[in-house]
Structure formats: C-alpha cells, structure tokens
C-alpha cells in the first residue's frame, strides 16, 4: 500500500474510505522529534489512520490502536509492524491498557468516532435497514446483548427515552409504542422488520431521509454505550497527553460533536477570579488546552464518499502549563 496516498481499505469485499485521513493525521504534527513518540489510534477501523501514522513514525516510534470489532482486530493483526500493537477493547480503556504496557504519557491521540462502511454494509451486523439482516448492532459481537434481545425486554418508557435522547427523534413516543405493541405479536428480529414498524409509526420525515434512520442510530448508540465510552475516552485521553501533545477527534453526528466541543472548550477556558482580589498574575488560573482547528470534509471528499458529509474534525493541544 502506498502510504503517501493510501487507497480505500478492503475487508471481505466491502470498501471503506477513511474520512478526513490526511487532515486528522497531519494535525498530530508528526514531524522532527515528535516522530519518535508514542501515539494512540482509538478506533482502528480498517486501518487508514493507523497506516498513515506508521508511515510517518520514526523507527523508535510507537502506535497503540484500539477497536471493539473482531473484523477490525483481524485486519490489524495483518500489519506486522513491530512499532504497532492492537488492543481488542474500547478506547475508553486506554488509560489502563497503556499503563499495563508501562506507558504513562503519549504524544498524540486520534479518535475516529464513526461506524465504518464495512460494518454498515454487512447485513449480518444489523446496523442498517438497507439490506435485511439479523438485528444485532453490536460493535463487539463477543460481549453484551443484541438489539433484538434488548427490544424484547426493554420498558416502553426507557425505549422512548433512548430513541428521543440518542436519536433526537421527535416521534419517539409513537415509535416506542409501536415497537412494544408489535413484540407482543411476534419477536422483532430483523432490520427490515424494525424499519417497517418505524415507517408505519412516523407519518412525516425530512426529504431524503428514511424514517428509521434516527431510531437505528439511537439503538446502536445505546447498545454499544457509545456516548459513555466517548466521555470516558475523552477524559482518559486528556490525562494521557503529554504537554504539547495533540488530540484529533472526528465525530459524525451532533450528539458526539457536541460532547467533543464542550469537553475541549471546558479545558481551553478557565473561570477568572474577581479582578478586585489581590492575586498575582502568575497565580491566575491557566487553560489546560488550546483549541487548534475545526475541519469539515472538502467538497470533493463528500462527492467521492457521501458518508463523510456529516463529519467534523476538532483538534486541541495540551498546554505546557497543564501539569
């Protein structure tokens, strides 16, 4: 593979284009002495970001990647680079996983929060209603319960809350009611079955958007504890970053991006004390991070990969004053 211009990754015949590939890796500033550092790729996916990082690392550099998906782990294990290691777990566990390897600080962290195209396009995973398949939706099929198992037992009020809060769905009440009514007649076990139930419950929808989109997003986020993992991962990443190190985070929907934006802003701003108090300038609170950039995919990238259209890359740097 040409590392200067990585091609789309292939996995079991399914194509994946890494979104904001160059922008996210370039933001880590892997030049000079920094190329000898230790880095984290929090979501290996199909390896686009990891491969590009490795192409820029010095021989003594190091990259630790994380992923919950078994197919991603299988792909990562084919890399065979002594500078690279893969961890079969959520990036939320990065602090503990790195500590087990004797790593207390890193020189950069990249989090790509998006679900990969092979996951979406593989009907057997149950992430999409485009093709019929079992209603699973787990990133890690070795742990937890499937979406079908959860829908069979969830309380109607909790289901409504999940669909409303994680899907930002205004018809959450009607959808939850329809799902719980249908499961008394038959198990809800396939993606097309769930999509049809939602479509019957939602009478109006934005032009060009399937009625089931928000519900599928909500259930996927809940089943995989994506927002809980993101909160834990952001906190762990901040603690691991060495002074001067950067964090690149790519989000794909408003809930994720809002969390990332608010987290970084909270580290970049400080509450200033009353100016009337006798406090020396050296003792004033200092920001812990500096906001570097916010980037969206270019027109040509969105044209080549429509799934990139909602992506947002935010970059921040840990300040020297932070420790």
Closest CA to 48 of 71, 20, 68: 20
DSSP 226-253: HHHHHHHHHHHHHHHEEEEEEEEEEE-S
Neighbour count for residue 288 (Cβ, 10 Å): 18
User: At which residue do the structure tokens 């990139």 appear?
Assistant: 308
Hey, which residues does 85 pair with through a beta bridge? 64
Query: Do the annotations mark residue 112 as ligand-binding?
Result: yes
Cα–Cα distances (Å) from 64 to 32, 42, 50, in that order, read 20, 8, 9
Query: Do the annotations mark residue 45 as ligand-binding?
Result: no
Query: Do the annotations mark residue 263 as ligand-binding?
Result: no
Sheet of 289-295, strand order: 84-88, 62-67, 38-41, 106-112, 241-251, 312-318, 289-295
Taking the CA of residue 127 as centre, how many other CA atoms within 13 Å lie in the half-sphere pointing to its CB? 17
Query: Do the annotations mark residue 91 as ligand-binding?
Result: yes
**Which helix (H) or strand (E) is 103 found in, with range?**
none
Cα–Cα distances (Å) from 262 to 56, 147, 226, 257, in that order, read 31, 29, 17, 8
DSSP state, 320?
A: G
Closest CA to 142 of 224, 229, 220: 224
Query: Do the annotations mark residue 15 as ligand-binding?
Result: no
Neighbour count for residue 121 (Cβ, 10 Å): 18
Query: Do the annotations mark residue 108 as ligand-binding?
Result: no
Query: Do the annotations mark residue 129 as ligand-binding?
Result: no
Binding residues: 47-49, 67, 91, 112, 119
Binding residues for S-adenosyl-L-methionine: 47-49, 67, 91, 112, 119
């Amino acid at each position: 593979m040409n590392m200067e211009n990585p091609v789309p990754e292939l996995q079991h015949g399914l194509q994946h284009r890494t979104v904001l590939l160059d922008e996210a890796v370039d933001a880590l500033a892997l030049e000079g002495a920094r190329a000898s550092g230790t880095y984290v790729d929090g979501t290996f996916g199909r390896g686009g970001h990891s491969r590009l990082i490795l192409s820029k690392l010095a021989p003594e550099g190091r990259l630790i990647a994380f992923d919950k998906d078994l197919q991603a782990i299988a792909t990562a294990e084919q890399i065979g680079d002594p500078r690279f290691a893969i961890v079969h777990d959520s990036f939320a566990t990065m602090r503990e996983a790195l500590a087990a390897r004797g790593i207390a600080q890193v020189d950069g962290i990249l989090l790509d929060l998006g679900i990969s195209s092979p996951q979406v396009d593989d009907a057997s995973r149950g992430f999409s209603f485009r093709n019929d398949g079992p209603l699973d939706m787990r990133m890690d099929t070795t742990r937890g319960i499937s979406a079908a198992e959860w829908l069979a037992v969830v309380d109607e009020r909790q289901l409504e809350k999940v669909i409303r809060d994680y899907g930002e769905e205004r018809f959450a009440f009607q959808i939850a009611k329809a799902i719980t009514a249908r499961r008394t007649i038959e198990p809800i076990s396939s993606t097309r079955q769930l999509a049809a139930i939602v479509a019957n419950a939602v009478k109006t929808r934005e032009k060009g958007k399937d009625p089931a989109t928000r519900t599928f997003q909500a259930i996927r986020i809940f089943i995989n504890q994506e927002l809980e993992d993101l909160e834990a991962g952001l906190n762990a990443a901040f603690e691991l970053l060495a002074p001067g190190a950067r964090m690149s985070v790519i989000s794909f929907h408003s809930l994720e991006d809002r969390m990332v934006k608010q987290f970084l802003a909270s580290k970049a701003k400080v509450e200033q004390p009353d100016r009337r108090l006798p406090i020396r300038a050296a003792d004033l609170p200092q920001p812990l991070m500096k906001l570097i950039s916010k980037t969206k995919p270019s027109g040509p990238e969105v044209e080549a990969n429509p799934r990139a259209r909602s992506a947002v890359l935010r970059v921040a740097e840990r300040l020297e004053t932070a420790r």
